[in-house]
Amino acid sequence: MRFNYGYEEEKLGKNYDLNLLKRLFMFGKPYRLLFFWTVLLVISITLLDLSLPYITKIAIDRYIVPRAVQHGNILKPDENKAGCYRASLNDSAVRNLLSKRDIEFKEEGAFALIPLDEIRKMDKGDIYILRKNDLKGVGIAAAILLLLVTAGFCLNFFETMLMEYAGQMIMHDLRMRLFNHIQALPVPFFAKNTTGRLVTRVTSDIQNMHEFFTSVIAFVFKDIFLLAGIMIVLIGINWKLALASFTVIPFVILASFRFSGQARDAFRTLRIKIAEINSSIAETIGGIKVIQLSGKENENYDRFEKLNHENYLAGMKQIRVLAVFMPLIELLGSVAVALVIFYGGISVLDEKVTLGALVAFISYMKMFFRPIRDIADKYNILQNAMSSAERIFIILDTNDTNDTKDTKDGESESSVLLTDRLKFDKIKSVEFRNVSFGYVPGEEVLSNISFDMKAGEKIAIVGPTGTGKTTLLNLLIRFYEPSSGRILINGTGTKKIPPSFLRSKMAIVMQDSFLFSGTVRENIARGKSGITDKDMDYIMDVSNCRKIIERLPHGLDTVLSEGGKSISSGERQLISIARALARDPEIIMLDEATSYVDSETELQIETALNNLMEGRTSIIIAHRLTTARRADRVIVLNKGRLIESGTHQELMKMNGFYYRLNNI
């Protein structure tokens, strides 16, 4: 389990690769039947590929340039041996040719041995009669080759379709798993990791897995089978020539190991730089108003140019590695072919190897280095995928660090399912007991806070900016966990209550409410299913936003832009109040909900908020102290400490900090 939220700076070693591969293959487990059929297709394709050069060898040696039969000169036994062509006497056309023409030959069973010198004297017509079976054999060989190539095309099509389908489904599952996990991560994670980084993880890093599952996995079977098959066939044809051609393999292995580490580092650096570029772009778009208002376009451009140049350098480092490695593999392949031509050519001249065998050998050697080049290419894909996979799994391994500890009094902090949910059907009490918290270790925002509230009570929290008011709400809703102390609901620590169950009882209206891209109806009903039209009418009336919605072009079905930027802040606030009402919460939290609106809109929001708080437990962070006056109790914070508590009248009589706030 990893808790380093700033994971971009963490570098993982090669020992992590095997673990990554095991975890990645777990995502392929549901599609193992597809992989099984793919392996069968790959084996079939490999056998077809291996048969093509061998059929060429047969066609050359048996039909195109048949090896001359060595035989003592059949006409002049005292002379040196000469080559002869073997013609079948079962062919009547051959018998007629030999009987009519003055051709010297010797019978050997059902064949006639004709000296090659005699054949060279014949005209084309006579040679055609003698070799028509050879021509027929060449035609059959060509037809078989065409048939095998067609079969290979069909098998490759189905293999590609199966692998692509499996790869796309695995990517789909991995992306959904990552997205779902990111949604469940605690808020501190998002404070330490930029939007651009996380977008890169869910998009381009997942996409990098595509070639891994579709190309690399197929390579494991196809190219390795092909290499093994070629080596067996080459040794079978001529083991001496095969061993000569294999002398370059150690150099290929050495080069692969030499460049593998450099490739991994280059791909890792490139992934980091791409994530940083995405973060910079997201930040620029989000803060474009501030950039333009402050005239920081040039400064922002320079910062992005520096980042883009670093990405360029990382890309060039990757290219330099590949620019040396790939041509080196090509060079070694050419050296192997040259050895085959040299050694094999001498063997053909010495008649130790047939011409067809040499041609087949050259074809096999070219085929032999094709999977080796693929190995290099797929290894680079693997390194790229691993650099993405390690980032993805760091996120998947990231959990809330507070979920596995124990409190001082022994209470387990595991978020387990409640055994008695009836106990929490109604929230009867909320208690902060000696709660302290700091966003940065050693720097407390809240210190030893203790207070309680009963069901239906309205509490206002006031104090200077930065004193921890909003932090109290974040702790109650479990966006963060206390550094020390406990928060109890109905006497039970919140850490024993699943966050999803706890949050289903609460709603918060913030000072700058966020709306999602989509219709107004979808924004109001988000998080609450089964809302009828009648319910929606009631919600619009109580939240005081009916007039606003009716003014929109398509009413409830009007599509809002991301963040609700197409409407005013006051309209966003009223819609967010409607969204809170739709949840029908037991606890309402208001975080300075009227601080960004004009006076007229503030009255509408105040009315809506009063309707929202009616009969509900409410915690109000009061920007305007007039709001605090209507609360049942006021809690005063200063420098992270609770310094005063009581009703408005009680606190005013004390002539303390709250009194001074009211008289500023």
Helix ranges, 487-635 (H): 499-503, 520-525, 533-542, 546-551, 569-583, 599-613, 625-629
Characterise 228 by phi-psi region: left (phi > 0), alpha (psi -120 to 50), beta (else): alpha
144-153, 205-214, 247-256, range with greatest mean pLDDT: 144-153
pLDDT over threshold 80, residue 91 = no
The SS3 of residue 286 is helix
How many percent of the chain have pLDDT more than 90? 8
3-state helix, strand, coil in the chain (%, to 5): 65, 15, 25
SS (H, E, C) 3-18: CCCCHHHCCCCCCHHH
Give the per-residue pLDDT at 503. 85
pLDDT recorded at residue 406: 39
The mean pLDDT of 88-99, rounded to a whole number, is: 75
DSSP 418: P
Per-residue pLDDT band at 261 (split at 50, 70, 90):
low
Eight-class DSSP state of 620: E
- pLDDT score recorded for residue 385: 79
302 or 127, greater pLDDT: 302
Residue 597 has pLDDT above 80, yes or no: no
Q: Where in the chain is the domain with CATH 1.20.1560.10?
A: 7-63+135-396
Does the pLDDT of residue 228 top 70, yes or no?
Answer: yes
Q: Mean pLDDT throughout 512-519?
A: 80
Q: Out of 104-108, 310-314, 480-484, 600-604, give the one with best mean pLDDT.
A: 480-484
Q: CA-to-CA distance for 632 and 613, rounded, in angstroms? A: 12
pLDDT top residue among 528 and 284: 284
Confidence of residue 527 (pLDDT cuts 50, 70, 90): low
The answer to whether 585 touches 506, Cβ cutoff 8 Å, is yes
Mean pLDDT, residues 255-270 taken together: 71
CA distance 204 to 175: 11
Question: How many other C-beta atoms are found inside a 10 Å radius of the C-beta of residue 213?
Answer: 25
Please, what is the average pLDDT of the chain? 78
- pLDDT score for 520: 87
pLDDT band per the 50, 70, 90 thresholds, residue 599: low
**What CATH number should be reported for the domain whose range is 512-584?**
3.40.50.300
Kindly report which listed range (251-265, 537-551, 607-621) carries the lowest average pLDDT score. Answer: 251-265
What pLDDT does residue 598 have? 61
* pLDDT per position as a tens digit, 578-591: 888 888 888 988 88
C-alpha span between 561 and 517 (Å, rounded): 5
Distance CA 102, CA 92 (A): 17
Give residue 147's pLDDT: 94
Residue 407 has pLDDT above 70, yes or no: no
Q: What span, in angstroms and rounded, lies between the C-alpha atoms of 646 and 479?
A: 27
| Average of per-residue pLDDT across 149-174 | 88
Q: What is the pLDDT of residue 482?
A: 92
Q: Would you say residue 432 has pLDDT above 90? A: yes
User: 69 versus 498: which is more confidently predicted?
Assistant: 498
Highest mean pLDDT out of 316-320, 326-330, 569-573, 657-661: 657-661
CA distance 290 to 264: 39
Collapse the DSSP code of 581 into the 3-class scheme (helix H, G, I; strand E, B; otherwise coil) and give the result: helix
- Tell me what pLDDT residue 593 has: 64
Q: What single letter denotes the amino acid at residue 488?
A: L
564: left (phi over 0), alpha (psi -120 to 50) or beta: left
Tell which residue, 589, 591, 593, 611, has the closest CA to residue 601. 593
CA atoms within 13 A on the CB side of 350: 8
Least confident among 212-226, 277-291, 299-313, 519-533: 212-226
Higher-pLDDT residue of 105, 537 = 537
Nearest to 164 by CA among 44, 46, 31, 49: 31
pLDDT confidence of residue 168? 86
Share of the chain above pLDDT 70, in %: 84
The reported pTM is 0.67
CA-to-CA distance for 100 and 560, rounded, in angstroms? 98
Give the homologous superfamily in CATH for domain 7-63+135-396: ABC transporter type 1, transmembrane domain (1.20.1560.10)
Residues 6+ apart with CB under 8 A from 223: 371, 374, 375, 378
Every domain range in the chain assigned CATH 3.40.50.300? 512-584
Amino acid identity of 606?
Answer: E
Identify the residue with better confidence: 265 or 346. 346
